[in-house]
């Protein structure tokens, strides 16, 4: 069976197909990237100022870098930190 379509139509159809596939792939990649941000599913800070929203986002981003859970100091270790001068010398935030 012979195709009666000129080559220009084949090029146009192939180009449109490529563009549609590219748009779909880009959309899926963006969707999965946003899905993997481990954000709360509820909008935190909605309706507040832009600076407050940015501060909330900054603090939520820091959570990803926490590598261990903090532990509570034992009674013996609390004795080491009773002197306020020692605490201010050892803890630098």
pLDDT tens column, 16-27: 999 999 999 999
Residue 42 is predicted with a pLDDT of: 72
pLDDT at 43: 76
Question: Whole-prediction pTM value?
Answer: 0.38
Please spell the DSSP secondary structure of 22-78, one letter per residue: HHHHHHHHHHHHHHTT---SS-TTTTS-HHHHHHHHHHHHHHTT--S---PPPHHHH
pLDDT in tens, 30-67: 888 777 666 666 778 888 898 998 898 888 888 878 78
Does 9 have pLDDT greater than 80? yes
């Amino acid at each position: 069976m012979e195709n009666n379509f000129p080559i220009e139509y084949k090029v146009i159809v192939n180009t449109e197909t490529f563009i549609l596939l590219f748009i779909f792939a880009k959309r899926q990649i963006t969707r999965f990237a946003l899905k993997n941000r481990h954000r709360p599913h509820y909008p935190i800070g909605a309706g507040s100022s832009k600076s407050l929203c940015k501060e909330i986002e900054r603090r939520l981003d820091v959570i990803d870098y926490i590598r261990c859970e903090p532990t509570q100091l034992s009674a013996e270790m609390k004795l080491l930190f009773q002197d306020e001068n020692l605490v201010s010398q050892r803890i630098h935030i």
